[in-house]
Structure 1
Amino acid sequence: MNAFAYRPLAGVVLLACSAPALACADIDCSPPLTLQLQAEQCGLTGLPFLSPDNDTRITLALLAGEQGLATLATVSDQAGKTTPLAVPFAVSDLAPPEPVVDSTDWLTQATALGVNPAVLQAAQQRAEGWLEGRCALNRPAAASAFLQALPQAGLSAEEARALAEARLVLLGQCQADGLPDYAALPASPAAAPYRDYLLAARAFYLGDFSEAQTRFAALSQQGNAWPQQTALYMLARVAINAAQANALDEYGFFDPGKVDALQASEAAQALDRYLAAYPQGQYAASARGLYRRVHWLAGDGEQLTADYQQALAAPQDMTLWNEIDLKLLSDGKGSGDPRLLLVQDLRRLRPHAEYETRWQPLTAEELATQQAALTPAAWFDYLQWAQRYYVARDYAAVAAIAPLSAGQSLDLLTFSRQMLRGMALMATQQWTPAEAHWQQLAAAKPDALQQQLIELAQALTLERAGKVAQLFAADSPVTRPALRDLLLRFSAPAPLLRQVAQNGQLPTELRNTALFTLLYKDLLHGQYRDFVTDRALLQPALGSTPFDLAPFSQGAHSEEGYACPALADSVATLARQPTAQARNCLGEFIYRQGWDLSPLGSKPEASLLGGAADPFAGAAQGRLALYRQVIADAKAPQEERSYALYRAVNCFATSGYNHCGSEEIPKEERKRWFLTLKKQYAQSPWAQQQKYYW
């Protein structure tokens, strides 16, 4: 087998949340654009300052980045391509990409050994399947080490081929799923160690740890280099898995009371023996990491904390942070280390559900008792300010934090403290001082992540202050497209949308969004006269990204037997003297475009960017409001009124909930619509088609 990195327990994936649930979260949605993240919005995501709302692993990542032990500015994919990290970011953005094993290596090795192509193809397919726990070790990297050793083993070509095929038949298989029985493996003196290795590995993956331990122990006494070293290492792996075998239930949940202490002790001794024999061996790094697993299984919190203190002094990534979150932070251990105490305290400053009794809010009095334990002293000072902001909500006191001094650098603690000050100014609606504060930070040479967060803070401040137009000026402090796009959709008044749509200095995508939003809201907010003039802004240069503007030029249309003139004609009629047909046809347009659910997306919550009150004139209304106006018009032509009744009834199909607007219509009224359609307009095609109401 190849050298194995330390892995989480079976049933625990890399981004699994530790208990309690609010310790972390990995929900598949975009992180919300706000300075205060909450788990119910999109899981706990990340901001580049010491925020209690950050996932605990992100706090560890920030501390590592401050020490130069981790890089957080970019996200890497499997191909090694990096892209800038966007703020806010998800925990998964910090996870290293799954290691990509160069398939040409093991495939080339197998081909050179004469492996049957059918065996090779089947192994490739299994290699791409889902495996976890000890089964996750049975990957191409492990097989490759075995294949690489065969040519140096003094085997005949036929023996090497047979052993290589036997290893590839095992690849990707685990437990009782089709494991080979290895009844006819080569048994010559040269082949025997590799045969014995395969039999031991089969027992290990099958879960027969007693047999695996016996076979690997015997193999570790032989003099053949690769099988002996691998067997000595695997004895530790076997003991670890045996120790935890009864402590994991079928869902992967761990019960420390069911750990086999003798096996845990044997695992520690096996690691000692391996490193004594091979201090620079093929598996030395993995073996040193496995001590953490052994100390965790043994319940030795003090030694485990020491292990992680040592690991945190070296370069690190999400694998380590996830371990710490699962093994120490989930049950409150690790507070003997100042850095981990800081992480735990920050977690306790965020809101927790009532049932999360172990995570009571950190009081100022309890924090005071930790002053000596929190070193450097600046950590204690920062936690005091954070406690005042997040728990005591003494915003006036936090707003009095001293502003940034001239020439002062934005290290993590300084930046975090200044973030609290700016947020406190916003919380007390001191918009002008807050604006000046963010401008000062922006001029203090922030790093890439800090710059993004400052832009978000500036966007939120100017939006709340009613100064959205400043964000689209030539000297705008905000240039991130994601922030401007959201403001156009939900916080821009009509005059600003017109200005942006016509501003050739702005990106085409922003101009496209502005014009689409303007025309869409003209229709939805009943600004029909504006729509007539705003249509003149349509031009091919605005393209179709991110929105298709072509529908606003729709010509005459007929569907399901109901004919409508061009959209522009219907809206012009609504602007002059509304008719039943014009109302129905606008409703038909909205229906055919699929705009019952807003193409702009859902308006953000009040605490998020884009969540301020929509300044667009007029109240927004869905197409049901148009139908109801026609239904209420007793003088409306038969064809128009029957069609409006038909569409209104179907606004509630099939759930009984309105999907054509926000109105809540009593079932009795919907029944009257249905009966009116069936009785007064029985000969209409709409009455004949309609069989139900909801």
Structure 2
Amino acid sequence: MGLSKHFFPLTLLSLTATFSISAYASFDEGCFSPSIQINSNSYDSCRNLPILDPANDNKTNMYLMLSDMGFAQIKPILNKEKIWDSEYGTVPFDVETFTEQISSKISNQRQTTPKQDKTIYDEKQHSMALGETQFIQQVQTSKQLSATEKQQLTAARQAIQANPEAVLAFVVMDPKWSQLAQQFASYLNASIAFYNSDYKTAGKIYTVLSQIDEPWIKETSQYMLIRVAINQAYQSGTDTYGDFDINKINPVFSKAITKRVNDYLKAYPHGLYRASAQGLLRRGYWFSGQNDKLIQELAWQLHHPKDPNYNLDILILPNELDNQVFSNEKLNPNNLKDPFFLTIYDLMQMREPTGENQHPISWAQLQQQQSYFKQQPELFQYLQALHLFFIQKQPAQALNYLPKNDPSKINNYFQLSQVVLKGRILESQTPKVAYTYWNTMLERTSNSYQYATLEVALAINLQKNKNYAGFLAKDSKIKQRNLRKIFIEKIADQASLEQMLASKETNPDERNIALNTLLEEAIVQQDYNTFIQNFKYVPKNAAAYQSSSSTNEAYKAQPPLSVFVWQGKKISTQIQCNSLLNTVTQLSKNPNDRLASVCLGEAIRETGHFLDTFTTENHPDILGQVKKPLKGKIFYRGATYQNIIKEPQPSELQAYALYRAIQCYAPTGTNECGDKAVNKETRKQWFQKLKTEYPNSTWAKSLKYYW
């Protein structure tokens, strides 16, 4: 896919009327465990897919398009974590991880590309090293300067580089210097003023020097006048706390930027800094609010990568576009007359609204863009299909806007986008057909991003259809470790887990997770016989398996199987707990055993395990968000304490139950013991009963609050 070579004028009518641009801009946040789904248009910077998608961050969509256009190369994401620690695989990915994989395939035409931050306003330091190199080179190659002058001027310039953060003193002119040496020294003083943020003085000196005869000083001074104007504009929009507000920029300075760029390019159409000057023109348009010209200039750059004035840094371009175009509250969609910009904008406007005043782009508004896509009709049809699928909820009609024939090989991200959208549509109509489709398309992928995307889609399909064999097969196409972990922990039924434990072909790391899951679910469901039957799979050195707390590095990336060999404890002289296995064995014989129930609660409390095994949510389109059927009643230690508290006969076990029941709410008043919470008045009654009926107990003496 490539951008069209021309863009065509067309009025987009009143597209600006209904959208809140800033609410749809890119946003980076800390990412942990991603929601794995492919059927959502809700923005999530932590759950990006390598397809053109409304849910993606803008930067992701831009990089995918730039890759297909030949501007960017995207390296594969490598996940080296063990399965137990795997939260992310290759897909989905968070936007920050993805952007770290980007490299540029087309160099800009600047002489040297300075290292730049993602967001650039004040840029006075960015060319300090390059400026030193150029200055010294000009001085050393000059035939008119004496050896002494060259040495003194070089030392003076190096002193600037050695103290980039210091307030620099001007170079003192030597009366013996030649006129040229004094001009070079004057240029240094202008640069010193520039680096000292004294732009008024720098501008005056550069202006004088732009009229002299020495070619390099003359041209460079005229170029530096552009940068003086940029920094004056930035300075005028920055308050005493360092906060920048583009609306506070002095328009005199912002207009000076574009004038000085044009003056330079007119005077030096083949100059040393023409590519840099052309790039700085965008800063002038942005600072002065000329968004139409800014967008036109960016579009020109994208269409002229081989032009001597080409000046795009692909690594920061998406941030520039986000900050200066798509997050701009004054953005007028009528100015978006190029497929690249319109695609990013349309994807933003097809996101699920997050506020009452946000409305997606209408079908009529989308249709008005068609003539801009004359060179890329399939891209426009894809946008139409997305609108029908996500906004209009008409998947059958959306299918008509996608290619009739499936690709024999998926060659780029746009093609992958079409493939995934067709699969989404099939999932909504005939999941069994979708199963065959995903499997077929997996065989036609050409890189890891493509495979991982379709692998996620297939995994969700297997979940919805309870096709556990698709995960368990020796040649299973579900290979990403995080997906397999989710299957084992959140999806697999008891038969599947027991099959994994019994099979010699099961990966040892997966077997440990299966064992952890099966035994944990058995405890939580009070399915004690299943626990006892499968306890034989617990390794003999299970006590060493303490997950991240393990002293042995080999066990840190393993589930905490040590919890299953809990050895019991002495609560008091009369209350003593046996090991977890013995406790469970006793409960298998008598589920109502008071002491065994309390001891099971102790095992749960001390190990911190068995807390969140069964979800109450059921979202089959999200991997792992399915409600497993329960074999028995959920064990809640809070319920055990309450049953003992209700007993009429006083006992030490009742005193301990009172203490623990109250402690369930320490220290925030939130129930940490499961089941329904009790009100504060009830907790007060428990507290008073413990204090009055068991005043000499250790627990009554130690308890000061009832939260």
TM-score norm. by structure 2 comes to 0.78
Match of residue 34 from structure 1: 37
- Note if 1:371 corresponds to 2:361: no
Deviations along 1:522-548, whole A, 9 cap, x unmatched?
222222221122221122699632312
For 1:488 and 1:616, locate their aligned partners in 2 and report how far apart those are by CA, in whole Å: 16
Counterpart pick for 2:326 among 326, 329, 339: 329
Counterpart pick for 1:548 among 554, 560, 570: 560
For 1:181 and 1:131, locate their aligned partners in 2 and report how far apart those are by CA, in whole Å: 28
Judging changes above 3 Å, is the alpha-carbon distance between structure 1 residues 606 and 70 closer, same or farther for their aligned structure 2 residues?
A: same
Match of residue 449 from structure 1: 449
Q: Which moved more, 1:565-574 or 1:213-222?
A: 213-222
Judging changes above 3 Å, is the alpha-carbon distance between structure 1 residues 407 and 368 closer, same or farther for their aligned structure 2 residues?
A: closer
User: Which amino acid is 2:167 matched to?
Assistant: P
Judging changes above 3 Å, is the alpha-carbon distance between structure 1 residues 682 and 231 closer, same or farther for their aligned structure 2 residues?
A: farther
Q: Which moved more, 1:665-674 or 1:86-95?
A: 86-95
Match of residue 612 from structure 1: 626
Match of residue 641 from structure 2: 627
Judging changes above 3 Å, is the alpha-carbon distance between structure 1 residues 666 and 533 closer, same or farther for their aligned structure 2 residues?
A: same
Equivalent residue runs for 1:56-205 within 5 Å: 56-74=58-76, 86-95=90-99, 133=120, 137-138=124-125, 142-143=128-129, 145-146=131-132, 149-150=135-136, 154=147, 164-169=158-163, 171=164, 173=165, 179-180=166-167, 182=169, 189=177, 196=186, 199-201=189-191, 203-205=193-195
User: Which amino acid is 1:481 matched to?
Assistant: R
For 1:204 and 1:98, locate their aligned partners in 2 and report how far apart those are by CA, in whole Å: 34
User: Which amino acid is 1:554 matched to?
Assistant: W
Judging changes above 3 Å, is the alpha-carbon distance between structure 1 residues 75 and 560 closer, same or farther for their aligned structure 2 residues?
A: farther
For 1:687 and 1:457, locate their aligned partners in 2 and report how far apart those are by CA, in whole Å: 56
Q: Secondary structure at the match of 1:312?
A: helix
Uncovered stretches (5+) of structure 2, i.e. residues with no partner: 1-19, 80-87, 104-114, 141-146, 306-311, 546-553
For 2:171 and 2:118, locate their aligned partners in 1 and report how far apart those are by CA, in whole Å: 27
Judging changes above 3 Å, is the alpha-carbon distance between structure 1 residues 233 and 52 closer, same or farther for their aligned structure 2 residues?
A: same
Match of residue 557 from structure 1: 569
C-alpha contact 1:622 1:662 (8 A) present in aligned 2 = yes
TM superposition shift of 1:459:
0.7
Match of residue 585 from structure 1: 599
TM superposition shift of 1:71:
1.6
Q: Which moved more, 1:218-227 or 1:543-552?
A: 218-227
Match of residue 288 from structure 2: 298
TM superposition shift of 1:226:
7.3
Match of residue 361 from structure 2: 362
Identity over the aligned pairs, expressed in percent? 27
- Note if 1:473 corresponds to 2:467: no
Deviations along 1:281-319, whole A, 9 cap, x unmatched?
765543322121122233333432221112223386341
- Please provide the CA RMSD for this pair: 3.9
- Note if 1:573 corresponds to 2:560: no
Deviations along 1:11-51, whole A, 9 cap, x unmatched?
xxxxxxx95122222121144211145657x4375212222
TM superposition shift of 1:504:
3.8
TM superposition shift of 1:73:
3.8
TM superposition shift of 1:239:
0.4
Q: Which moved more, 1:381-390 or 1:577-586?
A: 577-586
Deviations along 1:447-470, whole A, 9 cap, x unmatched?
321211111111111111122342
Judging changes above 3 Å, is the alpha-carbon distance between structure 1 residues 596 and 499 closer, same or farther for their aligned structure 2 residues?
A: closer
For 1:212 and 1:401, locate their aligned partners in 2 and report how far apart those are by CA, in whole Å: 59
For 2:76 and 2:383, locate their aligned partners in 1 and report how far apart those are by CA, in whole Å: 28
For 2:403 and 2:631, locate their aligned partners in 1 and report how far apart those are by CA, in whole Å: 39
User: Which amino acid is 2:602 matched to?
Assistant: E
Judging changes above 3 Å, is the alpha-carbon distance between structure 1 residues 438 and 591 closer, same or farther for their aligned structure 2 residues?
A: same
TM superposition shift of 1:380:
2.8
Counterpart pick for 1:677 among 690, 697, 703: 690
Judging changes above 3 Å, is the alpha-carbon distance between structure 1 residues 148 and 346 closer, same or farther for their aligned structure 2 residues?
A: closer
Judging changes above 3 Å, is the alpha-carbon distance between structure 1 residues 44 and 470 closer, same or farther for their aligned structure 2 residues?
A: closer
Deviations along 1:203-246, whole A, 9 cap, x unmatched?
44554432232233345556778766654433211102223443
User: Which amino acid is 1:549 matched to?
Assistant: L
Deviations along 1:577-622, whole A, 9 cap, x unmatched?
2432222222222222233754999989665211111245335444
Match of residue 144 from structure 2: none
Q: Secondary structure at the match of 1:405?
A: coil
For 1:70 and 1:622, locate their aligned partners in 2 and report how far apart those are by CA, in whole Å: 54
User: Which amino acid is 1:86 matched to?
Assistant: T
TM superposition shift of 1:328:
2.4
Match of residue 201 from structure 2: 211
Q: Secondary structure at the match of 1:309?
A: helix
Q: How many residues align?
A: 629
For 1:253 and 1:180, locate their aligned partners in 2 and report how far apart those are by CA, in whole Å: 23
Q: Which moved more, 1:324-333 or 1:278-287?
A: 278-287
Q: Secondary structure at the match of 1:71?
A: strand
C-alpha contact 1:96 1:317 (8 A) present in aligned 2 = no
Match of residue 112 from structure 1: none
Highest RCO, 1 vs 2 (Cα 8 Å, sep ≥ 6) = 2
Match of residue 308 from structure 1: 298
Judging changes above 3 Å, is the alpha-carbon distance between structure 1 residues 288 and 90 closer, same or farther for their aligned structure 2 residues?
A: farther
Judging changes above 3 Å, is the alpha-carbon distance between structure 1 residues 505 and 145 closer, same or farther for their aligned structure 2 residues?
A: farther
